[in-house]
Amino acid sequence: MPAKELSPIQIYQLLPGTNCKECGETNCMAFAAKLVNREATLQECTPLLDPKYTDNYNKLWALLKPAVKAVEVGLGDNAITLGGEYVLYRHEFTYVNPTAIAIDVSDEMPDEEFEARIKVADGFEYLYIGMKLTLDMVAIRSSSNDPAKFEAAVRKAAGLTEKPLVLCALDPSVMEQGLAAVGDRRPLIYAATKDNWKEMADLALMYNCPLVASAPFDLNALKSIAMTLSEYGVKDIVLDPGTQWEDGVAATLDNFTILRWNSINEEEEYLGFPLMGAPIAAWAEKAEDPLINEWNEAVLSAALITRYSDIIVVHSVSGWALLPLVFLRQNLYTDPRKPVSVEAGVSTYGEPDEMSPVLLTTNFALTFYTVASDIESAKLDCYLVVVDSEGMSVESAVAGRKVTAESIAEALEEYKVGDLVKHRHLVIPGRSARLSGEIQELTGWKISVGPMDSSGIAKYLEEKWVPNPED
């Protein structure tokens, strides 16, 4: 049953009902609610593991398992999970495993380029509200179709990175050589087509690796391959319905949506596998300036991240093109039940004293975490007054009158900010500059207009913060 329709009662009825608390919950109903929210796993219910409950366990597993199978690529600490999704629209529950981004290298690339690309895949890192945004995988293509070259390239890549690998070759004899080199790292095999599926399936079984079924723009053939592979014994399958730029974008997104819809709403088992997108297809026609290809690929990647892709293969290694992608998938795979706002009040950073700066921001979660993360990474000692803006950013809150001189004055009063410091200096965000006069009038605090962006707080305080207690 689609995850969005599942109720705790349905789960509760199949639990042992002993209220034994071994799972850490006060009773079975509370545990059922946790299971429905996927905040607990069946294994935590120890009585249920008794063989007499085997039937119930199986029924529960069938109710709770994700509609899209979770497929692991790589091993141990370096493994990544593709798929494992429950819903079509993120507000119905949450998206679970963020779209994996695989960086392309080929077996005909000069060493220098090859190594530079893997370095990006490996070392890409951007700090965002206290999180590290990174890339996930390396895809090695056999553009030569030469088994020896492919093996050498695969071996080289494996030596350069611990990230999970995707081996891309449509000729099974080429793939076999690649697997001989890195088959023990559980790479993702790309791909089984209607022509080579049997040889590829044999390789996938022999090396116990996940396998992509590929049938560009032919959904019937794709399902046919996936079904046949399943029957053949390949369990970990990824589906590639084809990706194309320009004229093919509409059909590309249609296919991804049809597949995900059918796996979630129709519970179609053979379509319930992770989906692979290949924005690298945007390079099929080389533009005069490769920047155009990079741009198009980024745009296509973003569309595929929005429309259900569980893994994408991209060629560009430019930071400006990759950065929006890691942001987008982080955003869309955030739990939507997370509140928009944080609690208003005063936050303390470092070890502020009575002469430390007092800053101000709004309680929109993203605004607050951004400011907090900037203050923390600069290791500042200060107070941050968080005013209630009904969860809006500074700019929107000021424009929409959710934050006014009056509400700021009230906040200073309510949170007793005057008791924390001896001085009366308040630094307000650059985007609320227009309120400075009014606030000063209402509160008697000396208002300084801070930077437009909180990344400038450290520099601003260093240059401008010279409070005089006599002021």
The nearest distance, CB 56 to another protein, in angstroms, is: 11
Select from 2-10, 18-26, 101-109, 419-427 the region that touches another protein (CB under 8 A): 101-109
Binders of another protein in range 320-359 (CB under 8 A): 320-321, 323-325, 327-328, 330-332, 334, 336, 340
Q: Which of 172, 178, 274, 391 binds another protein (CB under 8 A)?
A: 391
Three-state SS at 240: strand
Residues 293-322 that bind another protein (CB under 8 A): 295, 298-299, 302-303, 306-307, 313, 315, 319-321
Is residue 151 within 8 Å of 175, Cβ to Cβ? no
The strand ranges marked E within 268-326 are 276-277, 311-314
Q: How far is the CB of 142 from another protein (least distance, A)?
A: 7
Using CB under 8 A, which of the segments 30-38, 51-59, 348-356, 439-447 binds another protein?
A: 51-59
Give the shortest CB-237-to-another protein separation in angstroms: 11
What secondary structure does DSSP assign to 11-51, as a single string? HHTTS------TTSSSSHHHHHHHHHTTSS-GGG-GGGGSG
What x/- string results for residues 13 through 32 when contact with another protein is judged by CB under 8 A? --------------------
Question: Could you give the 3-state DSSP secondary structure of residue 116?
Answer: helix
Q: Is 247 in the site for another protein (CB under 8 A)?
A: yes
Residue 458 near another protein by CB under 8 A: no
Cα 230 to Cα 268: distance, rounded to the nearest angstrom: 13
Rounded-to-integer distance, Cα 343 and Cα 331, Å: 21
168 binds another protein (CB under 8 A): yes
By CB under 8 A, the residues from 145 to 164 that bind another protein are: 145
6 binds another protein (CB under 8 A): no
When binding is defined by CB under 8 A, the residue of 186, 423, 424, 425 that contacts another protein is 186
Part in contact with another protein (CB under 8 A); list of ranges 344-352, 375-383, 390-398, 420-428: 390-398
Smallest separation, CB 32 to another protein (Å): 18
| Subset of 61-100 contacting another protein (CB under 8 A) | 61-62, 65, 72, 75-76, 79, 89-91
What one-character DSSP code corresponds to residue 429? P
| Whether the Cβ atoms of residue 421 and residue 358 lie closer than 8 Å to each other | yes
Q: What is the 8-class DSSP label of residue 266?
A: S
Q: Which is nearer to another protein, 89 or 468 (CB)?
A: 89
Q: Assess 270 for contact with another protein (CB under 8 A).
A: yes
Among 28, 253, 408, 461, binds another protein (CB under 8 A): 253
Taking alpha carbons only, the member of 47, 97, 10 closest to residue 310 is: 97
Rounded Cα distance, 404 and 418, in Å: 19
Decide whether 27 or 230 has the Cβ nearer to another protein.
230
Query: Among residue numbers 395 through 434, which ones bind another protein (CB under 8 A)?
Result: 395-396, 398-402, 434
Does residue 153 contact residue 140 with C-beta atoms inside 8 Å? yes
Residue 224 in contact with another protein, rule: CB under 8 A: yes
DSSP-based three-state secondary structure for 264: helix
Residues linked to residue 214 through DSSP beta bridges, in sequence order: 240
Residues 46, 208, 377, 468: which binds another protein (CB under 8 A)? 208
Q: For 210-228, give one letter per residue: b (16+ CB within 10 A) or e.
A: bbbbbbbeebebbbbbbeb
366-385 positions binding another protein, by CB under 8 A: 366-367, 370
Name the DSSP class of 442: H
Closer CB to another protein, 27 or 56, in the complex: 56
In the complex with another protein, the residue whose CB is nearer, 207 or 445, is 207
Around Cβ 385, how many Cβ atoms within 10 Å? 22
For position 251 contacting another protein by CB under 8 A, the verdict is yes
Q: How long is the chain?
A: 471
Task: Say whether residue 364 binds another protein (CB under 8 A).
Answer: yes
The window from 25-33, 215-223, 380-388, 462-470 that contacts another protein (CB under 8 A) reads 215-223
* 238 vs 435, beta carbon nearer another protein: 435
Report DSSP state, residue 134. Answer: -
How far apart CA 404 and CA 436 sit, in angstroms, is: 10
Indicate which single residue of 196, 262, 356, 363 sits in contact with another protein (rule: CB under 8 A).
Answer: 262
* 291 scored as a contact of another protein (CB under 8 A): yes
Q: Which amino acid is at 430?
A: G
| Among the residue ranges 262-270, 347-355, 379-387, 417-425, the one whose residues contact another protein (CB under 8 A) | 262-270
Is the Cβ–Cβ distance between 153 and 105 less than 8 Å?
A: yes
Minimum CB separation from another protein for residue 444, in Å? 20
Q: Work out whether 266 is an interface residue with another protein (CB under 8 A).
A: yes
Q: How many CB atoms are closer than 10 A to CB 158?
A: 19
* Radius of gyration of the chain, Cα coordinates, nearest whole angstrom: 27
Q: CA–CA separation, 64 vs 173, rounded Å?
A: 40
Phi, psi of 138, deg, nearest 5: -125, 130
> What does the alpha-carbon distance between residue 434 and residue 373 come to, in Å, rounded to a whole number?
25
Shortest distance, position 462 Cβ to another protein, whole Å: 18
- Distance of closest approach, residue 362 Cβ to another protein, in angstroms: 12
